[in-house]
Structure 1
Amino acid sequence: METLSNLEAFVRSAESGSFSEAARRLGLTPAAVSRNVAILERNLGVRLFYRSTRGLKLTEAGESFLGSVGDPLDRLQGAIAAVTAHGPKPAGLLKLSMAPSFGVAHVLPLLPGFLAQYPLIRAEWHLENRVVDLVAEGYDAAIGGAIELSPGSVARTLAPLHVVAVAAPDYMVGRTAPSDPAGLADLDGIAMRVLRTGRIRKWTMRNGAGREMTAALAETIVLNEPSAIREAARLGLGVALLAVAEVLSDLEDGRLIRLLPDWYADAGGISMYYSSRSLLPAKTRAFIDWIDAAFREKRLPERFSGHPARPRLGDV
């Protein structure tokens, strides 16, 4: 008998025509969805999808199978949701880990609304610059960027993690803005040293045409914490390469301006990490769904993007 997860991966992939979009809906990684579909095909002994770089297309067998299982799966999920709705209300201690500057700027302001909707939940939120062990340290979830998944953990992407070049307006007075990432070498740079590796963080930037180039940031000042780098940039000490999420309010308020508006570095995504998708506590499921909806309501996925197709305040 096929597992519900395999059938669900197939149906959502067929609906969206993409493993990536199905993964977003299901709160899984695209690799996990692809693996579940492959297991289903192997067990059935038929190919369900034609796969190409443009996406997925159902085979004749896939079309027939979707017609047979689509509606029953929806009814089964509806029955599960109905039973769950009469279960315990979301309650208890919700232990969450996230980076300090990101948490203070974008997650903590959402806490009043969340607690108003779920008054039986108590929040214990740790703001820390490290990757936590969800199970061993007793965390319900963590929010972070480009974190390697541990066995049994799941990631739901909330927004892109794009890195851009920024500087204070006063710093750029009398200076020529660079035309490409190589031109950053002519300006003072505020570089980041990664304590885990001891190395200076290097970025490869790309533009809308798909061209890639290493950002030649000078190491005039070296710091090890993004919020300190942002503050140094605000003080007019040079150019910094920081995530849009880190400097969004500064760009919108004009405290910083974006250099190289056609270029950005893609560092992956800002995701919600949790230990397992099945049988999640009601408090954890409530928070995961709520924070995802809150990010979309505030258009943070679009606002965090460094893609040149989206004009931004402060671009020069």
Structure 2
Amino acid sequence: METLANLEAFVRSAECGSFSEAARRLSLTPAAVSRNVATLERNLGVRLFYRSTRKLSLTEAGEGFRQAVAGNLEGLQAAIAGLSADGGEPVGTLKVSLPPTFGMSHVLPLLPGFLARHPRVRPEWHFENRQVDLVAEGYDAAIGGGFALSPGIVARTLAPAHIIAVASPAYMRGRVPPSDPVGLEAFDGIVMRSLQTGRIRHWTMRDVVGGEMAAEQLESVVVNDPSAMREAALLGLGVALVAVPDVRADLDGGDLVRLLPRWYADAGAISLYFASRAHLPAKTRAFVDWVVEAFKTERLAERFAGSLG
């Protein structure tokens, strides 16, 4: 009897017309998909695909076999996934991508409780400042902002991504705080150069009643990482425009002060990304539910809202 992996490799390759694209959808290597299809052909004793360096097409036997198994395959996948999601204990490696500062400060502390509830889950968490491809790179979930929602991926909003102006009390000692974003030009600016574009990131800030104004900053200190901006601000090197979650603890502890408390920049949303399957693996569903509930219980969306002053 054929394995589900061999059948799935065949059906996805037929749909995509490419082992490489099928591999991306299945989170496998092209070699693994090709090997599974070859095993299926050998076991059936028929050739299912015509192969060339540029094209993959079904033989007559392959087309007939695809029509026979495609619908049944979807049913088998749904049944297996449903059993795992509804009745099975969450188990296996949970691969998640998170921004370093946000992940370590606000998501990593949720891990002990999660593992106490689900001890058979093994976390593999990658702390990185980039937008991963969940399917191609084999991630179960990712947390961040601005991810491209490719087919099959959904985003669950966790909190706003608001940018505010901060500085250390030592830096502000003897200085008059600015009254509006243009006034930031009078202070040393801690700014970030985008790894993607190579340009300095500039912000337009808005106030609580809807007014907008460009934030003018000197490029006194240039870094390429949000964590470095925070550290530079803590060292008293100037004023940084950073995401609220990255400095929430520093503001609460008095190590940083917020300037322009009525002004903030809107960078979108902090979201939890995962595959939009009808039945998620139990480990992924448990993680999604755990994070969403924690954000709700701890009212993190409100704590991260720069619009609340």
Confirm or deny: 8 A CA contact 1:189 1:240 kept in the other structure.
yes
Greater CA deviation, 139-148 or 192-201? 139-148
Q: Matched residues in 1 for 2:89 and 2:100: separation? A: 30
Which residue in the other structure is 1:236 paired with?
Answer: 236
> How far has the Cα of 1:207 moved from its partner?
0.3
Which residue in the other structure is 1:301 paired with?
Answer: 301
Q: Matched residues in 2 for 1:172 and 1:274: separation? A: 42
Confirm or deny: 8 A CA contact 1:154 1:277 kept in the other structure.
no
Confirm or deny: 8 A CA contact 2:85 2:279 kept in the other structure.
no
Q: Matched residues in 1 for 2:170 and 2:91: separation? A: 50
Residue 122 (structure 1) aligned with residue 127 (structure 2): no
> How far has the Cα of 1:84 moved from its partner?
7.5
Larger radius of gyration: 2
> How far has the Cα of 1:277 moved from its partner?
3.9
Letter of the structure 2 residue corresponding to residue 160 of structure 1: P
Gaps of 5+ in 2: 1-81
Q: Matched residues in 2 for 1:85 and 1:187: separation? A: 54
Letter of the structure 1 residue corresponding to residue 146 of structure 2: A
**1:167-192 deviation digits (Å, cap 9, x = unpaired):** 00110111110000000001000000
Q: Matched residues in 2 for 1:84 and 1:132: separation? A: 26
Q: Matched residues in 2 for 1:292 and 1:184: separation? A: 36
**SS of equivalent residue, structure 2 residue 147:** coil
**1:15-44 deviation digits (Å, cap 9, x = unpaired):** xxxxxxxxxxxxxxxxxxxxxxxxxxxxxx
Confirm or deny: 8 A CA contact 2:95 2:125 kept in the other structure.
yes
Q: Describe the shift of the 1:177–1:86 C-alpha distance in structure 2 as closer, same or farther (beyond 3 A).
A: closer
Confirm or deny: 8 A CA contact 1:90 1:282 kept in the other structure.
yes
> How far has the Cα of 1:208 moved from its partner?
1.1
Give the structure-1-normalised TM-score: 0.70
**SS of equivalent residue, structure 1 residue 198:** coil
Counterparts of residues 39-118 of structure 1 (less than 5 Å) = 87-118=87-118
Q: Matched residues in 1 for 2:184 and 2:280: separation? A: 47
Q: Matched residues in 2 for 1:208 and 1:253: separation? A: 25
> How far has the Cα of 1:151 moved from its partner?
2.2
Which residue in the other structure is 2:227 paired with?
Answer: 227
Confirm or deny: 8 A CA contact 2:158 2:292 kept in the other structure.
yes
Which residue in the other structure is 1:211 paired with?
Answer: 211
Residue 156 (structure 1) aligned with residue 156 (structure 2): yes
Which residue in the other structure is 2:63 paired with?
Answer: none
> How far has the Cα of 1:129 moved from its partner?
1.1
**SS of equivalent residue, structure 2 residue 134:** coil
Which residue in the other structure is 2:278 paired with?
Answer: 278
> How far has the Cα of 1:86 moved from its partner?
5.4
**1:268-302 deviation digits (Å, cap 9, x = unpaired):** 11100012242211110111011000111111111
Say how many residue pairs are matched.
228
Q: Describe the shift of the 1:139–1:84 C-alpha distance in structure 2 as closer, same or farther (beyond 3 A).
A: closer
Residue 199 (structure 1) aligned with residue 199 (structure 2): yes
Residue 186 (structure 1) aligned with residue 186 (structure 2): yes
Letter of the structure 1 residue corresponding to residue 254 of structure 2: G
Q: Matched residues in 2 for 1:246 and 1:164: separation? A: 10
Residue 245 (structure 1) aligned with residue 256 (structure 2): no
> How far has the Cα of 1:148 moved from its partner?
2.5
Letter of the structure 1 residue corresponding to residue 225 of structure 2: E
Q: Matched residues in 2 for 1:194 and 1:240: separation? A: 15
Letter of the structure 2 residue corresponding to residue 217 of structure 1: Q
Letter of the structure 2 residue corresponding to residue 289 of structure 1: D
Q: Matched residues in 2 for 1:277 and 1:253: separation? A: 42
Confirm or deny: 8 A CA contact 1:190 1:233 kept in the other structure.
yes
Q: Matched residues in 1 for 2:150 and 2:246: separation? A: 26
**1:131-180 deviation digits (Å, cap 9, x = unpaired):** 11101111000000222222221000011110000000110111110000
> Sequence identity, in percent?
64
The runs of at least 4 consecutive aligned structure 1 residues that moved more than 6 Å come to 82-85
Letter of the structure 1 residue corresponding to residue 182 of structure 2: A
Letter of the structure 2 residue corresponding to residue 247 of structure 1: V
Q: Describe the shift of the 1:184–1:118 C-alpha distance in structure 2 as closer, same or farther (beyond 3 A).
A: same
Which residue in the other structure is 1:177 paired with?
Answer: 177
Q: Matched residues in 2 for 1:119 and 1:146: separation? A: 32
Confirm or deny: 8 A CA contact 2:142 2:273 kept in the other structure.
yes
Letter of the structure 2 residue corresponding to residue 205 of structure 1: M
Gaps of 5+ in 1: 1-81, 312-316
Letter of the structure 2 residue corresponding to residue 271 of structure 1: S
> How far has the Cα of 1:85 moved from its partner?
7.4
